[in-house]
Amino acid sequence: MRTYRTDYRMWAALTALVMTGLCSAEYLYDPAGGVVARDLIWAGRGFNNLTYYGPLFAPHALVMIAWATSAGWAAHALFVLYGARLPPDEAADYDDVMVEALGCQPKDLL
């Protein structure tokens, strides 16, 4: 097993944070004619004229997602390297409660 395991929930949270920052920065830079502004107008119109706006939106979205994922992973790697982790989710121990209620060990259930 690797020494520093990937914390996927932290990676996803940091990716969402970076994506929000990228979109906000691009929108603040050019709120009238920027790419994010154009996409917001298109979404407000109910995504009409998909054959025109779709090919313009797809590369923009993919590049933004790639940048955000890469930056999120790099930030996540630094956090994990220094010992920061998100707490485990509560569903991970759900079966242990059921096993204890039955009064047996997990190996007895196999």
The pLDDT of residue 92 is above 70: no
| DSSP code of residue 86 | P
pLDDT at 91: 47
Percent share of the chain, pLDDT over 70: 77
State if pTM tops 0.75.
no
What would the pLDDT profile of 32-47 be if each residue is shown by its tens digit?
888 888 888 888 888 8
What would the pLDDT profile of 46-79 be if each residue is shown by its tens digit?
888 888 888 888 888 899 999 999 999 999 889 8
- As separate numbers, helices (DSSP H) first and strands (DSSP E) second, the chain gives 4, 0
Q: Which of 2, 14, 24, 33 is nearest to 75 (CA)?
A: 14
Are 3 and 80 spatial neighbours (Cβ–Cβ below 8 Å)? no
The pLDDT of residue 2 is above 80: no
